[in-house]
Structures are given as structure tokens and as C-alpha cells.
Amino acid sequence: MAEADAARPGGDLRKYLRPEVLVKLRRLDLIARLVVEGFVTGLHRSPFHGFSVEFAEYREYSPGDEIKHVDWKVFGRTDRYYVKVYEEETNLQAFIVLDKSASMEFRSHLAPASKLTYGSWVAASLAYMLLGQRDSVGLVTYDNAVRDFLPASQHPGHLKVLIKQLDAMEPGADSSMGEVLHGLAERVRRKGLFIIISDLLDDPEAIVHALRHLRYRRHEVILFHTLDPAELTFPYRDMLKLVDLEGGQEEIVDPAAIRASYLEEMRGFIDRIRMGCRTNRADYVQLDTSRPLGMALTRYLATRSEVKLR
């Protein structure tokens, strides 16, 4: 499939968003545009722009105030009408934090792309959308330390710089996600949005503690848990050699003997992360690298947009 064919306007863009098709494309900017124009821009309201709307104070109701801002709980306690007053920041600063550790290079026979490639598609697509909203976007890549730190910018040419950084990225060493996020919480002082893309193959308690630190600094957090379908289903039947991509250890195992325990451990791990996100008011989104990217992003972003409208 030629890139020109994929970019041709007027067709059904959704057919180009399947992972097995996207992996044939070489340009991240083209992939990002296909994803965003094919799905995300159809949302009735931006799910990100002006996200930082915080309660400031109460004041007494005045004629002309919108009824939806009346706090009825306060009315029930005081028998007087008060409205909520908000402070709104119109410009969002977002940082996309992409895990480039060795485990992200894993790709089973069930997926057309590695977790790192899929994560790069997610990063490029969200950057394309955010910059299209005139929001500021930065990029962080890490393994056991921050490897790239591209400051947030809303300049029209910033997308090319960001995508060039993604294109040049290579898998790194083992992951120290907790330490990296703690460092970012201290480094980025202005309140903003952290979009984290990772397989989370690290200590779950350390991850949750770092999320708490980001939330303490008043950052909003979205965690895209990016997994290969084989990690979710363990479909193997024959004797298997497992290789720790980050530690290098190898082990021969009988899949039938360990499948049940593996799946139980994986479910428990996901539940701990999901619960940690819920406790810290961070969004948890699971991504399967064999699934169409556009549909996965749109489902989440539409839900996020609906929540904002309530």
C-alpha cells in the first residue's frame, strides 16, 4: 500500500487504522493524521483543551447565573442559593511519557507490531491532536532513567520535532518507572497532563506511589497500559523458552503447567494497577497491540469527553 493511497481524502480512513496496515507505513506523521482525522476529530467536544477547570469559591446566586452552577447540597444545608465559581486555564500543558525499556520491544505472533511501535503510534496521534487544539505538548522517553526530554511547546513546527524524536528512538535497558515519574513530578512544576504509555513491567507499588506523587503536584494523569495479546491470553501450547528482555535470564517452561497461575498473576497485577489509578484519580486505559488503534483511542476519549460534560 502506497502512502499516497493511505492519505487520500474522502475514503474510509478506518480501514487504514488496523495494526497490520499501520505497521506497513513508515511515516509517523501520516499515521498520526490518519488516526486523528479518521476517528478522534469527530468528537463533539475536545476531551483535552481547557481541562484544568478547578473550583475556586462559592458566591450567592444572582439573577442571570446559570442554574446548573447552583450547589443544591449547600442549598439543602443553608436554604440559600449559592453558585460555584471556577478558575479555568485555557491552555493545557501535556507531557507524553513513553516507556522505551527493553520489554517494550516484545512482539508475539499475534501482534503485527511491538509494544514500542504501538506506543509510538499512540504518542504521535495524541500529540497531533493536542497541537491541533493549540495546546502545548512535550515528550519524555525513559527506561531506567529519562533518555529524552523535549519541553512542551505549541509551536506549529513542534510536531515535526516530536515525531523526529520518536522515529530516532531505540529500545533501552531495564525499566525504573517509579523513579522516573518521581523525578518528573519534581521537574515539571506547572500543573498539567501526563500521558504515560508503558507495559508497566515494574514494581506495581512503586508505580502507584509515583502516580500519587504526580497527583499531589496537581497533575492530571492518563495511564495507557500497553500489552501484547499473548501477555493477556498466554496462548502457547508447546514447550517454551522464556527470555527476560530486561534481565537476560532464560527458562524452559511447559505452558500447560503454568498457564493458570500466570493468568491469575496477570489479572492480579492489572487489578492492583487499576485500583491504584482509581484511588489516585488517574485514568487507566488498557491497550491491546493487536487491536485497531483508532477505535481504542476514540472509545476512551469519547468517554472522557462525556464525563467532562456532566
**88 pLDDT higher than 90:** no
Q: 192: Cβ–Cβ under 8 A, 6 or more apart, which residues?
A: 52, 92, 93, 94, 95, 152, 219, 220
Task: Show the CA angle centred on residue 158, arms to residues 175 and 187, nearest 5°.
Answer: 45
pLDDT digits (tens, 9 = 90+) for 98-118: 999 999 999 999 999 999 999
Dump pLDDT digits (tens) for 181-236: 999 999 998 889 999 999 999 999 999 999 999 999 999 999 999 999 999 999 98
Q: What is the pLDDT of residue 40?
A: 67
Q: Tell me what pLDDT residue 204 has.
A: 93
Q: What is the predicted pLDDT for the residue at 68?
A: 73
The whole-number pLDDT of residue 162 equals: 95
Give the range with max mean pLDDT: 136-145, 166-175, 236-245: 136-145
Query: Cα 189 from chain centroid?
Result: 20
Q: What is the pLDDT of residue 58?
A: 64
Task: State the span(s) of the chain assigned CATH 3.40.50.410.
Answer: 3-46+91-309
Mean pLDDT, rounded, for 283-302: 89
d(CA 219, CA 212): 10
- CA 294 – CA 254 distance, rounded (Å): 36
Give residue 26's pLDDT: 76
Question: Taking all residues of the chain, what is their mean pLDDT, rounded to a whole number?
Answer: 83
3 pLDDT above the threshold of 60: no
User: In this structure, which long-range contacts are made by residues 146-151, counting pairs with CB atoms below 8 Å and at least 24 apart in sequence?
Assistant: 146/180, 146/183, 146/184, 147/100, 147/172
- What tens digit of pLDDT does each residue of 137-147 get? 999 999 999 99
Cβ atoms of 153 and 138 within 8 Å: the answer is: yes
The reported pLDDT for the residue numbered 310 is 46
Per-residue three-class SS string for the chain: CCHHHHHCCCCCHHHHCCHHHHCCCCCHHHHHHHHHHHCHHHCCCCCCCCCCEEEEEEEECCCCCCHHHECHHHHHHHCCCEEEEEEECCCCEEEEEEECCHHHHCCCCCCCCCHHHHHHHHHHHHHHHHHHCCCEEEEEEECCCEEEEEEEECCCCHHHHHHHHHHCCCCCCCCCHHHHHHHHHHHCCCCCEEEEEECCCCCHHHHHHHHHHHHHCCCEEEEEEEECHHHHHCCCCCCEEEECCCCCCEEEECHHHHHHHHHHHHHHHHHHHHHHHHHCCCEEEEEECCCCHHHHHHHHHHHHHHHHHC
Spell out the CATH class of 3-46+91-309: alpha beta
Least confident of 75-79, 81-85, 176-180, 245-249: 245-249
pLDDT of residue 72: 81
One-letter amino acid at 283 equals: D
Q: What percent of the chain has pLDDT over 90?
A: 50
